[in-house]
Structure formats: C-alpha cells, structure tokens
Amino acid sequence: MATETPCKVVLAGNIAKGLIEEVKAGLATLNRQPHLLGVLANTDAAAKVYADWTQKTCEENGFRYTLAQVDKDDVEDTILNANNDDSVDGIIVYYPIHNNRQDQYLQECVSLAKDVEGLTHKYIFNMYQNIRFLDEEARMKSVLPCTPLAVIKILEYLHIYNPILPYGNRLFGHTICVVNRSEVVGRPLAALLANDGASVYSVDVTGVQKFTRGEGLRKRKHEVEEMPEGWSIKEAAPLCDVVITGVPGDKYKFDTSLLREGAVCINFSSDKVSPHLITAHSPSSSFWTL
C-alpha cells in the first residue's frame, strides 16, 4: 500500500455546503415553499430509493415534496394535470416507465416551466447547441441534466474551471476523458465540457470520439470527430488531465496505471462506489469517487 500513488480525499459534503447555502438564499426571497411533484409508475427498487432520497433532500432544504404513485397508463394524465396545477412548481418523473419511445413522449409532456430535469426537447436542444439562456436578457438559465451538472459543479469546486477566462470558455486548455457515452449522462456531459472549452475524448465500447470547439475555440458549439479505428481508453486516458468514469455494473475496473501524473479522476457510477468521498488532485496522481 505504501507504494500506491497518493491522493487527497475531500468529503462530498464540503462541495454541497456552498450549493445548499445558495439554495437557502434563493428560498429566502420567496413568499411560499416551492412544491416538487414526483411521479413513480414502476416497481424498480432503485427508482423508489431515488424517490425517497428526493423527498428527504427536499424536506431537509425547505421544499415541499409529494410523490404520486400511479399506474403506467395514468402517468400522462398525472403530468398534464400537474402542468395546470398552480400549486406545483416542478415535476420529476422516475424512469423507466414503459422502457421504450413512450418514455420520450412522456418527457415532452412535462411543461418547460416545470421540467426540473432538463429532459424536454428545448432544454436538450439548448444544451447541445451551447445556448445557455431561455431569454435574450440572459436572466433565465436553461436547465441541465442533474448528473452532468453535478460533475461540472465538482470541477468548479476543484478549480479546474479557470475563472479568469470568459464565461463559456473556462475549461480551455484542459483535456478530459469521459468513459460513458449514454444518452442520459455520458454524451450530454461530453458536450457540456466541450462547449465550455475542453477537448473531450468520449469513450465507450464502440470506440472513441473527440468533442471540441476547434482550435482556439473558433466554433460556437462543439463538433464530434471519430478517432481512428483501434483507438481505445488506452490511447485516450494518458492524454487527459481529467478522467471521468461512469460505467454501469460492478465488473468494470478502470486501469489507474493509465492516469497521467496530477490527473483528477471522477467516478459517477453507482456500483461499488462510496457516496460520501471524492478525491481531488494531488502533487502526484489522483483519484476520487462520488
């Protein structure tokens, strides 16, 4: 154990503290308690745990939370009724429900004004097109998916984002590897990081893609380049000063010998991961789990 590369461990709660204070400050300006409606229509134990944690977090931080447990065929009406209910401020739907394209339809049923997950088409379009606000006055931010946003908040906390650079370019100079290209987390995360100025290698079982805004950030939004056949994580990871993994399943193990010295490593997979610890970069290599 003494020969292992040292790393610095940071409690995830330290990151959350600052964000929670921002939430409390925002709540103090309101004249009522915001109300989040959760919609659960499956028997997935993980979805119920997620719903329970949503309720716990809401109640601990001054939000009202209601869980509607309904049949699959009643989800659409539940969403539409909530859209028109002035007492409901936000809607979160626990997927999968039908586990097919019907779920995409249900995502579109949620009102843009009440979509707290950023799953409606407008928010997804804005995310990939690098459009950050809903209005010309830049007062209403476009909602981002929660897990990619959480990774960004962690990178900000670790000072990977450079506050000296202009907003939108603050990852310029960083090369990042994202091991996961799911449509839910991996691809959106790679797009967001590239739109913020990073060169991003997106790795999955089909190969490696490079997300970038071009040399000198000439392009307004990211573009995607297929890397040559035969490229894998072995070629991508050693080039990167940040490596982010999120492979589902407990059989995948990242080869830490691929990490360059001083790299920051983030793992957002739910398997074999402590929910309490992260590791920030150290003078040598580094590794953290969330």
d(CA 165, CA 93): 37
Mapping DSSP to helix (H, G, I), strand (E, B) and coil, where does residue 146 land? helix
The reply to whether 146 belongs to the active site is yes
**What is the longest distance spanned by two Cα atoms in the chain?**
61
Catalytic residue among 7, 58, 146, 240: 146
Mapping DSSP to helix (H, G, I), strand (E, B) and coil, where does residue 10 land? strand
Alpha helical stretches, state H, the chain: 12-27, 45-60, 75-83, 101-109, 121-129, 146-157, 186-195, 233-236
d(CA 153, CA 156): 5
Which residue, 34, 7, 14, 39, is CA-closest to 23? 34
Which residue, 263, 271, 20, is CA-closest to 160? 263
Which residue, 212, 209, 188, is CA-closest to 268? 188
Active site residues: 146
